[in-house]
Amino acid sequence: MLILSPAFLVIYLVLYFSNDKKVFFYQIRPGLNDKLFKIIKFKTMNDKKDENGILLPDIKRVTKFGKILRKTSLDEIPQLINVFRGDMSLVGPRPLLPQYLPYYTEREKLRHTVRPGITGYSQVNGRNNLPWDERLEMDAQYTEKISLIFDIKILFKTVLKVIKRKDVVILSSEFNTTTLDYYRSQNENAN
């Protein structure tokens, strides 16, 4: 946190003055043992709405500075606060939204037997370019392989990915339960 504090301060000030004093984005996510917590990120989107008062699509709300933050993964810095609070770890499965909890298979539920992480095994092996089932399988594999050495390797690979900006998707498609249900039904029909 000390090392990143200059970047934190600069980003905070830019967002404060460019985003109507709204610097942080908070969202409820499930963590260890499905316990809900508020994840903290730098706010990369504005709150613009259409004529009916409905938020515009994400693609129209991401700011230019927000794109830079996402591309460099600097929007994730405030999650260090979550780490200090004990909600998250540096390495672990990325926390998803609570409404996805009922859709996990028993194996995928293993992701909630460890603290979620700022980075994880699937992030260094394809990040947002992997299909959801592969990401969730990697999360389960992480829980089986967890060790200090494994975490250090993931952290090192994360730094390389961030420097190279590899596998970064500015606006990824959200986890879609309909897609997951369809995929699973196709697999069940094939069996």
CA distance 166 to 127: 9
**pLDDT at position 65:** 93
Question: Looking at the 3D structure of the chain, how many domains does it have?
Answer: 1
pLDDT band at 187 (very low <50, low <70, confident <90, very high): very low
CA distance 46 to 136: 30
**pLDDT at position 166:** 62
Tokens representing residue 168 in the block: 């970064």
CA distance 44 to 180: 27
Look up the domain containing 47 and give its range: 5-190
CA distance 166 to 58: 22
Q: What is the pLDDT of residues 106-149, one digit of tens each?
A: 999 999 999 999 999 999 998 778 888 999 999 999 999 999 99
Highest mean pLDDT among 122-136, 145-159, 173-187: 145-159
CA distance 25 to 44: 8
CB 170 within 8 A of CB 67: yes
